[in-house]
Amino acid sequence: MKIMFYALREDEKPALAEWEAANKDVEVVATDELLTPETAKLAAGFDGVVTFQQLPYTRETLQVLADLDVKNLSLRNVGIDNIDVDAVNEFGIKVSHVPSYSPNAIAEHSVIQLTRLLRRTPEYDKKIAQRDLRWAPEIGKELRMQTVGVIGTGNIGRVAINIFKGFGAKVIAFDPYPNAELAAEGIYVDSLDELFAQADVVTLHAPGLPANDHMINAETIAKMKDGVFVVNVSRGNLIDTDALIAGLDSGKIAGAAIDVYEDEVGLFNADWRGKVFPDARIENLLNRDNVLVSPHTAFYTETAVGQMVKIAMDANKTFIMGQVPDVVAKFN
Ligand code: COI
């Protein structure tokens, strides 16, 4: 059994070595190359492919794999929004993903960033670095005094809810597919509009499906409370960046934490030192004291990376053995 492993990073090597040691019946060849129409040719003679990237998996790439009769693709991440679904179905390629590698990694990040905004630590950090140790005017807000509106109550949203509750916040939530346990607690509001009207903090934990595109836009921001905080650790396309910037300019939005950005591919996880960003909007956001930009690092913990490698490799091996792993991607 042979698996071709694409886009290997340094931080994944220990987990891959551990998996290989426990699966001596599988030959693994790894490359740091992304999966493109060109590099897909490297998979000739392999039984399956394990990969991770934010760039699209195009019809062209999938065609090369199908022509090589490599019909198992295991992604090491949760999002399946960068796959050409029609091509996957047409070529009969089975895809798995890692729907839950460490919800805590991402949920914790949303809470950490929100607490930083509430306690105005970015402003204090700047002042303190200049030896200004005065208190005022950066008076903070307590999380327990906030109503936190959680949009999306899947694995990550639910962990975030528990952490917010641990801080004593009032939590309300919206999800078109409510979770029975949370529903029994009476946590859900009936509509997004209701959530926007009540929430001091709007935190996004919904998938980047086309239906969710720009769910935070000028119109929905207008429905939010004055001085709302917005947190996005989910997918960049959920927020209309121009509307976010306008909301920050007007003061309607008091602060924002974004770990994802609609034009992040090629921008995040790249070294821009000494270079100009190709995108004025990210520059605008980075220059604000009340905006925390993190380059899609919410997921990036040792635990999560280890799980991403292990679950994806297990799934690919399961495919190769002719079975369907429980992490098979469900496209709809
Ligand atoms: C995911 O697992 O889908 C993530 O958002 C992590 C990532 C692509 C960097």
Taking the C-alpha atoms of residue 104 and residue 146, their distance in angstroms, rounded to an integer, is 21
Closest ligand 1 atom, residue 77 Cα: 2
Q: Predicted confidence band at 81 (pLDDT cuts at 50, 70, 90)? A: confident
User: In this predicted model, what pLDDT tens digit does every residue of 207-258 receive, in sequence order?
Assistant: 999 999 999 999 999 999 999 999 999 999 999 999 999 999 999 999 999 9
**pLDDT (0 to 100) of residue 331:** 78
Judgement on whether residues 73 and 178 belong to the same structural domain of the protein: no
Closest ligand 1 atom, residue 235 Cα: 5
Helices vs strands, H then E, count in the chain: 12, 11
Domain assignment present for residue 211? The answer is: yes
Judgement on whether residues 68 and 208 belong to the same structural domain of the protein: no
Domain assignment present for residue 237? The answer is: yes
Q: What is the mean pLDDT of the chain?
A: 97
User: In this predicted model, what pLDDT tens digit does every residue of 88-106 receive, in sequence order?
Assistant: 999 999 999 999 999 999 9
Q: Which residues have a catalytic role annotated?
A: 235, 264, 296
Judgement on whether residues 250 and 112 belong to the same structural domain of the protein: yes
Domain assignment present for residue 273? The answer is: yes
Does residue 257 contact residue 110 with C-beta atoms inside 8 Å?
A: yes
Taking the C-alpha atoms of residue 28 and residue 78, their distance in angstroms, rounded to an integer, is 22
Taking the C-alpha atoms of residue 214 and residue 262, their distance in angstroms, rounded to an integer, is 9
The CATH number assigned to the domain holding 190 equals 3.40.50.720
Judgement on whether residues 74 and 186 belong to the same structural domain of the protein: no
Cβ atoms within 10 Å, residue 180: 6
Judgement on whether residues 50 and 153 belong to the same structural domain of the protein: no
Secondary structure (3-state) at 75: strand
Q: Predicted confidence band at 191 (pLDDT cuts at 50, 70, 90)? A: very high
Judgement on whether residues 117 and 242 belong to the same structural domain of the protein: yes
Q: Which is it for the CA torsion 231, 233, 236, 237, positive or negative?
A: negative
Domain assignment present for residue 328? The answer is: no
Taking the C-alpha atoms of residue 182 and residue 157, their distance in angstroms, rounded to an integer, is 11
- Closest Cα partner for 91 from 68, 75, 114, 116? 68
Domain assignment present for residue 327? The answer is: no
Does residue 192 contact residue 151 with C-beta atoms inside 8 Å?
A: yes
CA of 250 to the centre of ligand 1 (A): 32
By DSSP bridging, strand 228-232 and strand 72-75 are unpaired
Judgement on whether residues 108 and 65 belong to the same structural domain of the protein: no
Average pLDDT over every residue of 68-87: 95
Taking the C-alpha atoms of residue 240 and residue 217, their distance in angstroms, rounded to an integer, is 5
CA of 78 to the centre of ligand 1 (A): 6
Does residue 91 contact residue 113 with C-beta atoms inside 8 Å?
A: no
Domain assignment present for residue 326? The answer is: no
Q: Which residues line ligand 1 (CB under 6 A)?
A: 54, 77-79, 296, 299
**pLDDT (0 to 100) of residue 94:** 96
C-alpha separations of 294 from 86, 267, 268 in Å: 33, 12, 9
Q: Predicted confidence band at 162 (pLDDT cuts at 50, 70, 90)? A: very high
Does residue 317 contact residue 26 with C-beta atoms inside 8 Å?
A: yes
Judgement on whether residues 140 and 261 belong to the same structural domain of the protein: yes
Domain assignment present for residue 331? The answer is: no
CA of 299 to the centre of ligand 1 (A): 7
Closest ligand 1 atom, residue 52 Cα: 8
Judgement on whether residues 111 and 236 belong to the same structural domain of the protein: yes
Domain assignment present for residue 325? The answer is: no
Closest ligand 1 atom, residue 269 Cα: 9
Domain count, the chain: 2
Q: Predicted confidence band at 129 (pLDDT cuts at 50, 70, 90)? A: very high
CA of 131 to the centre of ligand 1 (A): 38
Average pLDDT over every residue of 4-23: 98
Judgement on whether residues 139 and 189 belong to the same structural domain of the protein: yes
Q: Name the residue range of residue 32's domain.
A: 2-101+302-320
Judgement on whether residues 97 and 107 belong to the same structural domain of the protein: no
- Residue 332 scores a pLDDT above 60: no
Judgement on whether residues 86 and 107 belong to the same structural domain of the protein: no
CA of 77 to the centre of ligand 1 (A): 5
